[in-house]
Amino acid sequence: MARGLDHVVHVVRDLDAAGELYDMLGFTVGTRNRHPWGTDNRLVQTPGFFVELLEISEPDAIPPHGETAFSFGAFNRDFLADVGPGLSMLVLEGSDPAADKLEFDTAGIGGFDVFDFSRQGKRPDGSDVEVAFSLAFARDAASPHAGFFTCLQRRPENFWAPDLQRHMNGTTGVAGVVLTAEDPAAHVDFLSVFAGTTPRRAVEGWYIAKTPRGDIDLMSQALFTERFGIAAPAGPGLRLAAIRFAVADIERLRRRVSASRMAAEEIEGLVVVGPKSALGATLAFEPAA
């Protein structure tokens, strides 16, 4: 079964500065939340999808990886140390964590325990709520700087907030994400299992996996540069290079980006804010279908 996009982790050194960046771009940004393993986050929600802005707030509290235990905090700490701020993890929607784990283990891309946790969150009115999640991790052994897992919301009524999904820049949802690699074909099998759907070849070096919520584009570094006008992230294997947002009014989005005084490129109907402005991420905006 195809798994829809759930969220993307954007790891940064300064969570408040990242919140200001997204705010300047016209997004509604949630308040600070604390994880029990040394990281803090702030969220940018769209219907069914969110960007998790993540900071390593207590390095000494981060647990190490275990033989079968994946440490979310350690992965993002090491990503930040190795490559700097950027898009570190792609998360797809889970429905049965045990089944996801079994599928990943059987295909040779798993080997990790299901991770269940809860934390306190806040509604837009400031009231406290509990949110809870179950995670099933996958890995592409050739991709040390890209993390993957599925996420099942245990208390979705406490997590999703329509007020946080209204954005001044007119963003209505996620259109997709972009993964890059020197040899995209080498990662098609991994992505087929992880996404639960087989990516289709668009052109040489470009595959597209259609999901119930957004596309996953897998493309060569050269094609990424041609499409988005900026260099693809460097490094071995897969890298999570960009988030594509759908906007109701592209002219309104252009005005908002211009008012933010951030450098942006306009390429074939896209407005692209590159990693030099967006803390290592590429944020692309396109008209909603």
State the Cα–Cα distance between residues 38 and 61, nearest whole angstrom.
5
Co-location of 128 and 255 in the same domain: no
Residues 12 and 147 in one domain: yes
CB 277 within 8 A of CB 263: yes
Query: 120 with 129: CB under 8 angstroms?
Result: yes
pLDDT at 188: 98
The verdict on 52 and 135 lying in the same domain is yes
Statement to judge: residues 12 and 127 lie in one domain: yes
Print the SS3 string covering 66-125.
CCCCCCHHHHHHHHHHHHCCEEEEEEEECCCHHHHHHHHHHHCCCCCCCEEEEEEEECCC
31: which DSSP letter? P
Rounded Cα gap, residues 287 and 289, in angstroms: 6
Give the residue with greater pLDDT, 17 vs 130. Answer: 17
Shared-domain flag, residues 237 and 256: yes
* Mean of pLDDT over the chain: 95
Query: Considering its fold, how many domains does the chain have in total?
Result: 2
Based on the fold, state whether residues 186 and 231 are members of the same structural domain.
yes
Is residue 108 domain-shared with residue 172, that is, in the same domain? no
Q: Which of 122, 140, 164 is the last residue of a domain?
A: 164
Do 25 and 136 reside in the same domain of the chain? yes
Do 120 and 158 belong together in one domain? yes
Q: Which residues pair with 116 in a beta bridge?
A: 134
Using alpha carbons, list the distances in angstroms from residue 278 to 4, 25, 45, 105, 283: 25, 10, 17, 35, 7
Residue where a domain terminates, one of 133, 164, 195: 164
Over residues 183-199, mean pLDDT: 98
pLDDT tens, residue by residue, 94-153: 999 999 999 999 999 999 999 999 888 777 777 888 899 999 999 999 999 999 999 999
The neighbour count for residue 128, using CB atoms within 10 Å, is: 9
pLDDT confidence bin for 289, thresholds 50/70/90: confident
160 and 236 assigned to the same domain? no
Q: Is the separation of the CB atoms in 277 and 237 below 8 Å? A: no
Q: Which of 164, 180, 213 is the last residue of a domain?
A: 164
Same domain, 125 and 196: no
Stretch 156-175: mean pLDDT: 95
- Spatial CB neighbours of 262, under 8 Å, sequence gap ≥ 6: 24, 25, 273, 277, 278
Q: What is the CATH number of the domain that holds 233?
A: 3.10.180.10
State which residues form the domain around 219. 167-287
Residues 156 and 196 in one domain: no
Pairing of strands 171-181, 239-247: antiparallel
pTM: 0.97
